[in-house]
Chains A and B, each alone.
Chain A
Amino acid sequence: MKPAYFEFQNAVKLLCGQNALERIPDELRHLEAERPLLLTDAVLLRLGMVAMVQDTMRAEGCAPAATFSDIPVDSSLSVVNRIAAVYRESGCDSMVAVGGGSVIDSAKGARLVLSHDTDDILAISGIENLRCGRHIPFIVVPTTAGTGSECTGVAVIRNEEQGIKMEFLSPFVEPDVAVLDARMTLRLPARATAATGADALCHAIEAATCLQSNPLSSAYCHAAIQLISANIIRAVQHGSDADARLNMALAATMAGIAFSNSMVGAVHAIGHALGGVCHVPHGEAMGILMPHVLRYNLPAAAESYARLLPEMVGWEKAAATPAQMRGEALVQAVTDLLGQLHASAGIPLRLSEAGVAEQQLARVAETAVNDGALIVNPRAMSVQQVLDLLRGAL
C-alpha cells in the first residue's frame, strides 16, 4: 500500500561482479581523488585481503596514501576521531573502506567529522539535520554480506561511555561507490556468513513491514529475500561458491538500500541494545531475536508478512498455504531457516548461548525502548514487553 507520503534516495554507484576491485582507481580519478586513506581491520590485514586491494589499486595507479587497520569489532566514537586525525596527518583526500559493518560505519563517522570540520562527532548527531558539508570521496568494499552499510545513509557507532549504539541518519552519510566483488567474501567463515546473512534477511523483512515501508524500498526487500533464501545455505556450506557469495552480497546491498529508506524495527532496536550492553555480535542478535519479534508483531503485521512468503518459500508453497495462514507461515519459514543456520554454522538461537545473563536483561530492555528503530515498529513496545520477549529468548 502506498503511504500518504514517502521519500526514497539512493545515490550510491554500484560496481558489482568480475574485476570490480580493479575499477576502484578509475572511480577515484572520476571523484578527483589521488591520496585515499585505506580503512580496514587487523583480521582482514592478516588474511591478505587488504594486500589484494592495495595491490590492485597500486597496479592501476592509485595506491593508498595511508592505511589504518586499528578498527575493532564494534566501531566507537574514539576510533572515529582517531581515523579523522590520521586522515588529516597523512594529507589524504579520500577514503576507501574495506571491511564489515564496523569498518564501514567507522569510516562514515570519520567522514562526517572531516566534512563538517568538527573534532567530535557527538556534536552533529541527529536525524536529517546535517548539511552536505565538504565532499570527501568515499568508496566502500564490503567483506561481509549483511550490514548493507555500503549503500545506506546510516552510521551506527558505539558510545563507549554510555554503553549504547548511536545512529547517525543523513543522506550525506551514503558512500559514493560500493564495490561488490565475490573475492572479498569467499573466505568469510561459515558462522559469520550465517550471522551476517541473518542480518540482511532481517533488514529486508523489517524494512518491508515497518511503518515507514514504501513501494520502492519494498521492491528491494522482495528481491533481497528471494536471493537470500535461495543462496544463504549454499554460501554457508560451500564458502568458495562465488555465485552464491555474490548473490548474498547483492541481496545485502539491496536490503541495505531498502532499510536506508524505510528503517527497520524492534529486532534492530533490541539487537542494538544487546550489542551495546552485552556485546552480542549484531548478526547473531538478529538471528536470535527475529523469531520472537516477528511473532510479537504478527497481530499487526500478518498481511505484510504474508506478502513476503512467496519470496521466502517459493510461489508453489506459498500458493498452497491458506491465505490467512501466510503471515504465520513466513514467521515459521524464517524460524526454520535460522534453525538450519544453527545446525550448519553454529549461530546461537538463544540469548544464553550468546553469553547473555538474566540480570542483564533489564538494562537491555531499558536501552532498547530508546532506540530510534522502535518508532516505526508495527507494534508499540514497552520496557516490560521487551523484557518479556527477552526472557522468552533467553
Chain B
Amino acid sequence: MRRRLQAVIVAAALRLVHAALVALQRLDPEVAGELRRMPVGMTYAIHTGHNAPSLFVEWDGQRLLRIPHPEQAALCTLRLKALAISFRLFTGQMGLAHAYAQHAFTLSGEIADVMRLARLVNRAEAYLFPPILSRRILPELPELPVSRLRVYARTLIGFLQSSC
C-alpha cells in the first residue's frame, strides 16, 4: 500500500516537473536558454524503480514534449535504483546532487546531458519548492526573475491540461 502511494506521488511529481519546465520555458530566461542550447531531438528517460512510473521527454527544438509511449530508448536514461529513493528525490527530501553523491541512479548516455538536465530540474525545484526546502536540497538558491505564484499557476494549468 505504501509503495503504491509512493508510486502515485512520484508519477504526479514527474509530470509536475515536466509541466514546470514547459511553463518556465516561457517565463524564465535561464530555462529558455538552456533548452535553446539543447540539441534538437535530445531525449531523456527517467525510471523511478522496478515497475514504477517513468518519464520520457523529447526536445523537438521548440518544445519539451512528454512522450507517454516511447518507441526507442532515450539518448540519456536515468534509472533510479529504488522507488523509495525516487520518492525522496521527488518530494524535496533530497536534491539531484545528493542523489548523485548517494549513487541513487545509474546513467546510460553522456554525463554532459545529465548536467544539462540537472540544471533544468534544479531550476524548476527552486520555483516549485518553498525556499526553506530548496535551501536544503539545492547547492545554492538562485535569484528567480519571476514570481513563484506565476510559475505555480502556469505549471498547474499545464499539468491539468496534460491530464485531460
Known: A4-B102, A6-B101, A127-B100; 8 extra A-B contacts, CB below 8 A, are A5-B103, A129-B107, A369-B119, A370-B111, A372-B115, A376-B97, A376-B100, A377-B139
Q: Does B116 contact A (CB under 8 A)?
A: yes
CA distance A322 to B97 in the complex (A): 32
CA distance A7 to B111 in the complex (A): 20
Q: Count of chain B residues with Cβ under 8 Å from any Cβ of A? A: 27
List B22-47 residues whose CB lies under 8 Å from chain A. none
Across the interface, which residues of B come within 8 angstroms of A369, CB to CB? 115, 119
Per-position 1/0 for A164-180, Cβ under 8 A of B? 10110000000000000
Q: Which 8 A-B pairs have the closest CB atoms?
A: A370-B112, A212-B101, A372-B111, A380-B139, A127-B107, A380-B140, A5-B102, A128-B106
Which residues does A use to contact B, with CB under 8 Å?
Answer: 3-7, 125-129, 164, 166-167, 210-212, 262-263, 369-372, 374-380
Which residues does B use to contact A, with CB under 8 Å?
Answer: 79, 94, 96-98, 100-103, 105-112, 114-116, 118-119, 122, 138-140, 142
* Contact count A vs B, C-beta below 8 Å: 79
Rounded to whole Å, the gap between the CB of B104 and the closest CB of chain A is 8
Rounded to whole Å, the gap between the CB of B30 and the closest CB of chain A is 9
A263 touching B101 in the complex, CB below 8 Å, given contacts A374-B115, A375-B115: yes
**For the complex, would chain A's binding face be called helix, strand, loop or mixed by DSSP majority?**
loop
Rounded to whole Å, the gap between the CB of B11 and the closest CB of chain A is 24
**B103, A128: Cβ atoms closer than 8 Å:** yes
A211 touching B101 in the complex, CB below 8 Å, given contacts A125-B109, A129-B106: yes
**A6, B111: Cβ atoms closer than 8 Å:** no
Q: List 23 A-B contacts (CB under 8 A).
A: A3-B102, A4-B102, A7-B102, A126-B111, A127-B114, A128-B106, A128-B107, A129-B79, A166-B110, A211-B139, A212-B100, A262-B101, A369-B119, A370-B115, A372-B111, A372-B112, A375-B96, A375-B97, A376-B100, A379-B139, A380-B122, A380-B140, A380-B142
CA distance A263 to B119 in the complex (A): 19
**B103, A7: Cβ atoms closer than 8 Å:** yes
Q: Which of A126, A129, A166, A380 has its CB near the most chain B CB atoms (within 10 A)?
A: A126
Rounded to whole Å, the gap between the CB of B112 and the closest CB of chain A is 4
**A371, B101: Cβ atoms closer than 8 Å:** no
CA distance A166 to B116 in the complex (A): 15
**B100, A370: Cβ atoms closer than 8 Å:** no
Chain B residue nearest to A125 in the complex (CB): B110
CA distance A129 to B109 in the complex (A): 9
**B140, A375: Cβ atoms closer than 8 Å:** no
Across the interface, which residues of B come within 8 angstroms of A374, CB to CB? 115
Chain A residue nearest to B100 in the complex (CB): A375
**B106, A127: Cβ atoms closer than 8 Å:** yes
Rounded to whole Å, the gap between the CB of A153 and the closest CB of chain B is 11
Rounded to whole Å, the gap between the CB of B129 and the closest CB of chain A is 16
Q: Which of B96, B105, B108 has its CB near the most chain A CB atoms (within 10 A)?
A: B108
Across the interface, which residues of A come within 8 angstroms of B110, CB to CB? 125-126, 166
**B101, A126: Cβ atoms closer than 8 Å:** no
Rounded to whole Å, the gap between the CB of A377 and the closest CB of chain B is 7
CA distance A167 to B109 in the complex (A): 11
Across the interface, which residues of B come within 8 angstroms of A125, CB to CB? 108-111
A129 touching B108 in the complex, CB below 8 Å, given contacts A369-B115, A372-B115: yes
Across the interface, which residues of A come within 8 angstroms of B79, CB to CB? 129
CA distance A3 to B115 in the complex (A): 22
